[in-house]
Amino acid sequence: MSGGKGAPANVVRGARGKADRRGFYLALGAVAVAGAGGITWAMQRSRAANAPITVPAAATLPAGAARPAGYVMGSATAPVEIVEYADFECPSCGQFAAVTEPDVRARLVTTGQARYRFYDFQVNGSHRNSPAASLAAACANDQGKFWEMHDRLFAGQDEWNSLATDDPKPIFAGYATAVGLDAAKWTQCYDGRTHVRRLAEHQQEAARAQVTGTPTFVIGDQMLRASPTFDAIKALVDSARAKAPAPTAAR
């Protein structure tokens, strides 16, 4: 039997080991808490950036406000204007953009017979990703690439529409890169919801024009409430040109 004072060495080592393990687990817990906090913050930030786009009610805009410009292609001096009201998630709008609009651009807009004005208008509440697509296009417009984004959005409807995803932003970001945008500037614009008021103004403009479905076209004093053929558009452009006043000769 030992006659020394104090606890045996193995008891001391055991107590010290328990203390060391307790400190390790406390430190590990602190790291876990900090990590969880960081992950939660990152997730909250991500959810905020990717939350559904909420468009202010058009009725909240000032009555009698100036007509919004929309997005225009073609010469300001063209004798006729073709106005389209379209929903980026509307299948008929996508079909028109793919099949008929290229002819309209090449044979009427590029030749100076007409200019083209586009208003994005969400008429179908089930098209939940449509406002986000409109915002993506508006942010592309800031860098002079609206029509390029317009074309990619319509061509890729089945990739980002409400049936395909609840988070279309990564797809839109890919389009932004593909059309040559500064990705950081586009992301800042999109995440900041910079142009949601413009979306509301376009809704108000569509209501003023008594648009009830998409696509809808106004050419001269005529309205087409369906997806028209090129020949139908050309006929209305020709009619409107015939009614247009002759240009005044410069003196």
What's the confidence (pLDDT) of residue 246?
64
Peptide bond into 215 cis (omega under 30): yes
**Sequence-ordered alpha helix ranges (H) in the chain:** 9-50, 91-99, 101-104, 130-141, 146-155, 157-160, 169-178, 183-191, 196-208, 230-243
Domain boundaries, the chain: 58-242
**43-70 mean pLDDT:** 55
pLDDT digits (tens, 9 = 90+) for 238-251: 999 998 776 554 44
Question: Is residue 61 scored above 70 in pLDDT?
Answer: no
Query: Mean pLDDT over residues 213-237, rounded?
Result: 92
Q: Give the pLDDT score at 245.
A: 72
How many percent of the chain have pLDDT more than 70? 72
Q: 58-242: which CATH number, 3.30.70.20, 3.40.50.1970, 3.40.30.10, 3.40.640.10?
A: 3.40.30.10
- What's the pLDDT score for residue 50? 52
Q: State residue 67's pLDDT score.
A: 80
For residues 113 and 79, the answer to whether their CB atoms sit within 8 Å is: yes
pLDDT at 250: 45
Q: Which pLDDT does position 138 carry in this prediction? A: 97
Position 16 scores a pLDDT of 52
Query: What is the predicted pLDDT for the residue at 47?
Result: 43
Rounded to an integer, the average pLDDT of 203-227 is 90
- Residue that has been written with the tokens 């939940």 in this structure: 128
Over residues 55-67, the mean pLDDT reads 55
**Cβ–Cβ under 8 Å, residues 177 and 148:** no
pLDDT, one tens digit per residue, over 9-45 is 454 445 455 555 555 445 444 444 444 444 333 334 4
Query: 85-118 pLDDT, tens per residue?
Result: 999 999 999 999 999 999 999 999 999 999 999 9
Does the pLDDT at position 183 exceed 90?
yes
Q: For residue 118, what are the β-bridge partners? A: 71, 84
Share of the chain above pLDDT 90, in %: 60
- Res. 196: pLDDT tops 80: yes
